[in-house]
Amino acid sequence: MVQSQGWVRRYFKAFCKGFFVAVPVAVTFLDRVACVARVEGASMQPSLNPGGSQSSDVVLLNHWKVRNFEVQRGDIVSLVSPKNPEQKIIKRVIALEGDIVKTMGHKNRYVKVPRGHIWVEGDHHGHSFDSNSFGPVSLGLLHAHATHILWPPKRWQKLESVLPPERLLVQSEEDCLVERLTEEVAPKWKMRQSGGKVRTDGYREGR
């Protein structure tokens, strides 16, 4: 009986020792290496949650890949919301520091991404709260790189780092200036072709 009690005591002691060692390891793994998360909302459709509210994708978030704040254009990343520190959002990286991006609804038509920042957007334009609303995002808000869809099983796949064709970058500040001038001059040229005159104040005037 005494031997039995001693065995139980040793087993319980070994279990407790193993448990308190394993728990910090698990926490460290989730915090430093990777974790899984369920994606909510429609901002990343059709890449994520293509079925809308009928189903939600579960993705693998790789913390290790962004430990040095190294990301590429086209990466899908999770980050702390610049507007709500308690919330994490998932978006696609469109531009890196130094890039010039042609915005979609931002107060400035063109934005040069400052040092230590990235420009992120949802794939579902018009249904995404992203850099077009809050501007460039600090690299310090990066949380993880979404690398795979794990659930549902029929959706299992690797998430590729690709830029949408319509979101190609402006190559230089000169290109930005040329494109801006083109946008301003083209309507005036059309007015001239239609037979009207364009005054210096921009109004069309008939002959």
The catalytic residue positions are 43, 91
First to last CA, the chain: 114
| C-alpha triplet 92, 97, 101: angle, nearest 5° | 65
d(CA 193, CA 189): 6
Inter-residue contact 154 to 176 (CB < 8 Å): no
The DSSP-derived string for 90-131 is EEEEEE-TT-EEE-SS-SSSEEEPPTTEEEEE-SSTTS--SH
What residues form DSSP beta bridges with 197? 205
Which amino acid is it at 78?
Answer: S
Task: At 197, list the tokens.
Answer: 């005159």
Q: Which of 142, 125, 133, 155 is nearest to 75 (CA)?
A: 142
